[in-house]
């Protein structure tokens, strides 16, 4: 009997081609994340959900009477009601490290775009204002190799960012990081010290009760006025009102943001109107290469479920065990 999978995203041609060899035992139904009519129609018959970003609530899980596995395409499971899933006997799994390469490159892309005033220069060139060059460029834009880079969180993605910026010329001694405790690695600093010392601060930590609002007005005030903040982790880690005020007042030079407190981001969010902010819609992870890794993991866990084998990367305890 085929395993019924509700894939909560809209597939491209490469996705369907990759999955075609498995359709003899996987019955995959696709649903765009904003299509609740299809989601709730398919949900009761799903054995597995391939989950991306649209939150899965406890009420959703209770409607999924056959559900056995929610497999997050990514690492963060803050968008799944894990407690309810556990109570209902539904395994919740993630894919740690699968998107690390793509998100790390995306973070560095945002660093460069903000640091080098890319969008401003693009607009000036298109409007015929590029020549003569703005004399402030030589006093404001920086090389990554000349910056102290502070990484908040030190998991797979942050370590890849570290390798990239070192390859671009940043001395290893100028790459700082913080985590929940001193991990013994060179460059560890308490968060207040890291914020005060860094020219670029890049966030790479999950959204938890502890990290919610971590970068508030007090934390932002510790940063250098010429510093750049990059966030490719989760929007609510940053107090967006405080960030907007700091950017407007010149207490922070620029920001590169892939994530927001509310997603999709509201059109009246004041961050969208600031010239010193570079924005992308939570897509630093979204590449052909990451999707291939996600689908490989997802199919493997479905195969394990289908054959009664232990699942990989389960984050909760179901039936007395983690898989």
Catalytic positions, written as ranges: 234, 263, 282
Q: Which among 228, 271, 224 is positioned nearest to 118, based on CA atoms?
A: 228
Euclidean distance between CA atoms 240 and 80, whole angstroms: 23
Quote the Cα angle for 139-143-145, to 5°: 140
């Amino acid at each position: 009997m085929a395993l019924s999978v509700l894939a909560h995203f809209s597939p491209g041609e490469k996705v369907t081609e990759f999955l075609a060899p498995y359709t003899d035992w996987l019955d995959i139904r696709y649903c765009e994340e904003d299509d609740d009519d299809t989601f709730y129609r398919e949900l009761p018959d799903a054995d597995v959900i391939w989950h991306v970003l649209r939150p899965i609530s406890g009420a959703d899980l209770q409607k999924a009477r056959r559900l056995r596995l929610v497999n997050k395409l990514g690492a963060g499971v803050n968008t799944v009601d894990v407690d309810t899933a556990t109570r209902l006997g539904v395994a919740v799994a993630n894919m740690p490290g699968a998107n690390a390469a793509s998100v790390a490159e995306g973070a560095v892309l945002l660093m460069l775009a903000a640091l080098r005033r890319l969008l401003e220069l693009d607009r000036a060139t298109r409007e015929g204002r590029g020549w003569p060059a703005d004399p402030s460029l030589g006093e404001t834009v920086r090389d990554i190799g000349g910056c102290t880079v502070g990484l908040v969180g030190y998991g797979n993605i942050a370590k890849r960012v570290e390798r990239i910026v070192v390859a671009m010329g940043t001395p290893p001694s100028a790459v700082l990081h913080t985590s929940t405790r001193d991990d013994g690695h060179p460059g560890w600093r308490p968060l207040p010290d890291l914020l005060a010392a860094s020219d670029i601060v890049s966030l790479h930590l999950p959204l938890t009760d502890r990290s919610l609002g971590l970068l508030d007005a007090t934390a932002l005030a510790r940063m250098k006025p010429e510093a750049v903040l990059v966030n490719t982790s989760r929007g609510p880690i940053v107090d967006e009102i405080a960030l907007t005020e700091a950017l407007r007042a010149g207490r922070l030079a620029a920001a590169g943001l892939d994530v927001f407190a509310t997603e999709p981001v509201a059109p009246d969010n004041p961050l969208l109107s600031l010239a010193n902010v570079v924005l992308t819609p939570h897509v630093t992870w979204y590449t052909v290469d990451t999707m291939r890794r996600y689908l490989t993991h997802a199919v493997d866990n479905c195969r394990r479920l289908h054959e009664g084998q232990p699942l990989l990367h389960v984050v909760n305890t179901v039936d007395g065990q983690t898989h």
